[in-house]
Amino acid sequence: MMNPRKTIVLLAGFLAPNLAFAGGYTLPVHGVRSLGMGGAMVAGTSGVDALWTNPANLDESEISVEAAMINLSSSYTPLGDGATTVNNSGRMLPNPTLGVVWRANDRFSLGLGAYSPWSAPVAYGENGPQRYQLIGNDQTLAVYIHLAAAVRIGSFRFGGGIQNVMANIKQQVAVSAYTGLFGYAQDPSLDVVTQLDLNDPFTLTGNFGAAYDLGRFSFGASVQLPFTIAGDAKVDQRLPSNVFFDNVTLVGDKARLEIPFPLVVRGGIQLRATDWLTIETAVGFEDWSVQQRLKIEPVGQQLEGVPAIGTYRLGTLTLEKRMKDTVSVHLGADAEVTSGLHVRTGGFWESSAFPDETYSAALPDDTKVGVGLGLSYRIGLFRFDASVAHVFQGTRTITSSELRQVNPTNPSQADVIGNGRYESGYWLGGLNIAFLPGWGASTAKLGRPEDTLNVTVDPVDAM
């Protein structure tokens, strides 16, 4: 007979998913034009892109719509002979941006946009060796609604905005019910498949920035404020197929959860080297160490039909995350090869948010090296942009993992699940169409010749 005390602890642990959705998926670049320059657009960003990167550079009137496709190619192979390799099969969805910038006068502009952070979904098979790390999070969605304003005072520009983050986070993970009395640690008949669904439609945050022009140089900096997604998550569970659990039921399906997201700081310097060439270098810092641990607090949940116990009310669970701050460095160039046609290229490097001890297939966030290429063509009042990039993450072989199955009954018998070979990389591509109403050459910003509408004045008409 199973020890009743162990039974209580075991079933309480069913509510402890690995929460892989929170970090490591947001790429250090956002926007089709920025992608082509490797994310090197902080001092020189413009239009709707400025909402995300630096709201101080909201300037000329623009209506913009874009979509980016992000594919994460990742695989995991456990250590050992004959190990099965699993590959990410997460569905690829467009990351959209829709925005409007209105230049009210020479000193003031407003911007309004809706966009998703640039990230890639992850999904694997329910029976794969990674199932204790993650089964899938490819139904997770997040949208920012952003209202911002910018003020121009001579060579200085200042801007800021308020954002509402609407998030629907869904994740599946397997929890082990192995007690040591029967079966084995990764016995599929002792798996508890847990799905967590957190819907938070209202989370306020904001960003602000500043920029300064000095001759051929422009300087820019911005700060994205931290925020926390929180709410009562719905918890659905499929109890183990083992006969021991035939009469056990879970009453209640809510758990309180809070997920902090980081402070982000960006800075950049743009050089207008010639009338047709601009170069920018930028840096970024993301405070991911804010996620050291997460707490799950069951709301009125209890287990019924526990052998030799009857009813048991579930308590708070704490999950260790141990994330690290990340730093990124960007370099990009924009060249006007002919009137109205621009070519962009650039690259970036970003550190990983995870040490070997907590790295997993759920969070394949390794050190990144990204290379991008983009085109921009202006015709009349329209501008068309296209970019493509590849992010190299390579292979990471881990032999010192401290990740174990969630198994609160006998944690000393829980298998280590993080050791193995991880391979990952991204392909990104996107298209943007912008309508530029009422754009005038006299107000176009130096260094962005594709944004300048050449106007020819007839001498007769000028008299």
Q: What pLDDT was estimated at residue 457? A: 41
Contact 359, 401 (CB under 8 A): yes
Q: Is the dihedral of CA 14, 129, 293, 169 positive or negative?
A: negative
- Mean pLDDT across 434-450: 56
Segment among 95-104, 240-249, 250-259 with least mean pLDDT: 240-249
**pTM for this model (two decimals):** 0.87
Lookup: tokens for 102: 């209105």
Q: What pLDDT was estimated at residue 315? A: 61
Place of tokens 């069951």: 298
Q: What pLDDT was estimated at residue 377? A: 97
Contact 43, 280 (CB under 8 A): yes
Lookup: tokens for 344: 């962009």
Segment among 96-105, 203-212, 306-315, 385-394 with least mean pLDDT: 306-315
Nearest Cα neighbor of 378 from 51, 45, 62 is 62
Does residue 252 carry a pLDDT above 80?
no
Task: Identify the helix (H) or strand (E) that includes residue 8.
Answer: helix 4-12
- Mean pLDDT across 109-114: 97
**Per-domain residue ranges of the chain:** 4-462
pLDDT digits (tens, 9 = 90+) for 153-189: 999 999 999 999 999 988 888 888 787 777 888 889 8
Does residue 456 carry a pLDDT above 80?
no
pLDDT digits (tens, 9 = 90+) for 34-91: 999 999 999 999 999 999 999 999 999 999 999 999 999 999 999 988 889 999 998 8
Phi, psi of 117 (to 5 degrees): -65, 150
What band does 242 get if pLDDT is binned at 50, 70 and 90? confident
Strands (E) in 314-436, as ranges, are: 317-320, 326-338, 341-350, 368-379, 382-398, 420-435
Segment among 57-66, 183-192, 245-254, 399-408 with least mean pLDDT: 245-254
Q: What pLDDT was estimated at residue 453? A: 43
For strand 264-272 and strand 217-224, is the pairing parallel, antiparallel, or unpaired? Answer: antiparallel
Nearest Cα neighbor of 433 from 388, 386, 380, 373 is 386
- Identify the CATH assignment for 4-462 out of 2.40.160.60, 3.40.50.300, 1.10.580.10, 3.90.1150.10: 2.40.160.60
106, 255, 342, 343 from 452: Cα distances, Å: 16, 54, 12, 16
